Amino acid sequence: MPFAALGLPDYLLRAVAALTYQEPTAIQAQAIPHVLAGRDVVGVAQTGTGKTAAYALPILLQLNAAARPASPQPLQVLTVAPTRELALQVAAAFRAYAQFSPRKVNTLAVIGGEDLEGQIRALRRGAQVIVGTPGRLLDLIERGELHLAQVQTLVLDEADKLLDLGFADELDKLLALLPPKRQNLLFSATFSPKVAALSERFLSDPVRASVEGELPVVEKIVQRVLQVDRDRRRMLLQHLLEEEGWKQVLVFVASKVAARNLAAKLDREGISAVGFHGDLEQEQRLEALRRFKNQQTRVLVATDVAARGIDIEQLSCVVNYDLPRSPREYIHRIGRTGRAGHKGLAVSFVDPDSEAHFALIEKRAAVSLAREQIPGFEPIVLPAAKTKGAPAVKGRRKSKKDKLRAAAAKALAQD
Ligand code: AMP
């Protein structure tokens, strides 16, 4: 079933397409129609089954469809989550799903342990959606900084965990402050007696959507982030082509010159490669594509603009040799792999200078990826020294002994 069949508007369809979701997961297909119909819903689904979109997408539709409320808009959606990590993740998901929405939807995570003053300042600027942990939410209410009087939708996410962590009293207090007329959505990995009692107390005639036992969404595209110094990227790419046996790779670079140079260098090393960029004649382009499709060329080194027209089924690997400029471009690039039901691999090279930029991409694409280092290619360039006038400091390249020592320490740590 396509997402469009769920009655979602174009701006949400664009967002899920941008995140490379191909079709709704079971919990989304079950819950979205009920949420849209305004019903209270109990969703029994594990994290990883796509439950966040099951409530966030229809909520965003409701926020956009409602008559324009006063300015600044009051808080309309309260999501309570048991942990800081989940709260941050859910807030990031709301933002990613709202990226094309006609109305600006301010989403804020309010979580314990983080800068209270900063959260108060953000609250004063106004948020329509808040995702918070119970203690911090109550703290802000007591300080008179958070008002729940206009909340229309309450989401209790991972309700079983909220209860297991002993938040029952906090939940009681919070729920007593909400307006009685509201929509309630409760999600839980299991429908334990405690969760059933909670639902009984606070929900009104809820529909149950259950995908208990459903496996997590298999990420179609495996995303890896490799830390490597800029001047060692080509060596690392060659190493990976060999070690990991990548048959065909689409490598993204930032400029025509880089596309030409990298392709030429790889070719010289005996790896068949072609630069694919805007300076090629139409004929040359078609020929390059034809050879890549026939697997006569192993590496296509492309710029974003040139790559736009490429449509190759079963492309198994994409490499961000240069990082894309925007999160949208990142999703676009990695979406070129993992097509037609095949698993894809997207590898990004980051160095100390591009780390902050990549962190921003992760935030906007609502992912958080582990950093990897490939033995022998560990970065050695230290971040540029901040002191005025001091030149960028280069670290010492590791000796073979250093590397062996590091590998031994790593092995020990893993034991
Ligand atoms: P969640 O259970 O909401 O934490 O989602 C788990 C993961 O599945 C997240 O990485 C989502 O971005 C992803 N996801 C959610 N819905 C879909 C979908 N329909 N197709 C593919 N991936 C999805």
Domain limit, last residue, from 179, 210, 241? 210
The phi and psi torsions of 214 (rounded to 5 degrees) equal -65, 140
User: In the prediction, which pLDDT does 46 show?
Assistant: 81
Write down the pLDDT at residue 316. Answer: 80
Within a domain: residue 395?
Answer: no
298 and 328, same domain (yes or no) = yes
From atom 22 of ligand 1, which residue's Cα is the shortest distance away?
21
pLDDT of the residue at 40: 98
| Predicted pLDDT of residue 334 | 83
**What pLDDT does 365 receive?**
74
Domain count, the chain: 2
Q: Give pTM, 2 decimals.
A: 0.63
Residue 397 confidence (pLDDT): 53
**How high is the pLDDT of residue 336?**
74
Chain mean position to CA 108: 17
pLDDT tens profile 154-210 = 999 999 999 999 999 999 999 999 999 999 999 999 899 999 999 999 999 999 999
Query: Which range marks the domain in which residue 292 is found?
Result: 216-372
Considering the domain architecture, whether residues 76 and 165 belong to the same structural domain is answered as yes
Q: Which atom of ligand 1 is nearest to the CA of 367?
A: 10
Nearest to 260 by CA among 277, 237, 239, 281: 277
Nearest-angstrom CA–CA distance, 97 and 119: 22
Q: What is the pLDDT of residue 83?
A: 92
Residues 120 and 255 in one domain: no
Question: Residue 414's pLDDT is what?
Answer: 43
- Examine the domain organization and report whether 193 and 243 are in the same domain: no
Same domain, 79 and 150: yes
DSSP secondary structure letter of residue 394: B
Low-confidence ranges of the chain (pLDDT < 50): 385-396, 409, 412-415
Ligand 1 binding pocket (C-beta < 6 A) is 19, 21, 24-25, 28, 47-53, 217
* CA gap 115, 117 in Å, rounded: 6
Burial of 103 (0-12, 13-18, 19+ CB in 10 A): middle
- Which atom from ligand 1 is nearest to the alpha carbon of 216? 6
Q: What is the pLDDT of residues 40-63, one digit of tens each?
A: 999 999 878 899 999 999 999 999
DSSP state of 233: H
